[in-house]
Chains A and B, each alone.
Chain A
Amino acid sequence: SQQGEEDPQALSIQEGENATMNCSYKTSINNLQWYRQNSGRGLVHLILIRSNEREKHSGRLRVTLDTSKKSSSLLITASRAADTASYFCATEGNDKIIFGKGTRLHILP
């Protein structure tokens, strides 16, 4: 069953701008993760934030988690053409990882 719901479903921005994607989920979690998938490829892990954390940074990525609202956001700063991909949030709980529907990000030159 689907746990996370990302929004927006699709996002187009100019290169250099920041991109923000949101994820909402329904049940309690141990952690929330973000993944990137380039067209026709497997998924690549970007960042993991635990349920007791509120914010985490990794390079140009910033993730926030609000467990009271059951939501998370992924911010990509200073976007590049290579950031064009689909981004999925995934929640871990009960020994399994469930993925959201994803956001398709397109960086315009």
Chain B
Amino acid sequence: SAVISQKPSRDICQRGTSLTIQCQVDSQVTMMFWYRQQPGQSLTLIATANQGSEATYESGFVIDKFPISRPNLTFSTLTVSNMSPEDSSIYLCSAEGVGSGELFFGEGSRLTVL
């Protein structure tokens, strides 16, 4: 199994600012993903974080708004840029175990934009 550490766990931000969320995995994984979850709702895939190259974004999400890095196999960052109250949500980092297909999740970063 893999343990995923995500930080910050929560933050309150002002409109127009940017916040970077970090995700560290303690073991080898294959794919890494970033999801967004509104309280009480399901998870929406933002993008697949690709090692050493540009992330693959889902419809409705763009690199300028959600730049993602993955400089190595076990670390990734998601930046929420030029935030508005609509960006208030829980952002979840996940990683797929080698050969298992199973996703491991961090505890999430709860972001509130005022």
Contact = CB atoms under 8 A, between A and B. Distances in A.
Contacts of A30: 101
Interface in A13-62: 30-31, 33, 35, 41-45, 48
Interface of B is mostly: strand
B42 interface: yes
Interface residues of B, number: 24
A98 interface: yes
A105 interface: no
B107 A41 contact: yes
Given A31-B101, A88-B42, A96-B33, A1 B106 contact: no
A31 B102 CA distance: 10
Contacts of B101: 30-31, 33, 48, 92
B48 interface: yes
Interface residues of A, number: 23
A96 B106 contact: no
B59 interface: yes
B42 A97 contact: no
A88 B45 CA distance: 14
B19 interface: no
Given A96-B31, A99-B35, 12 more contacts: A2-B42, A41-B107, A43-B43, A43-B92, A43-B94, A48-B102, A92-B101, A95-B48, A97-B103, A99-B42, A99-B45, A101-B41
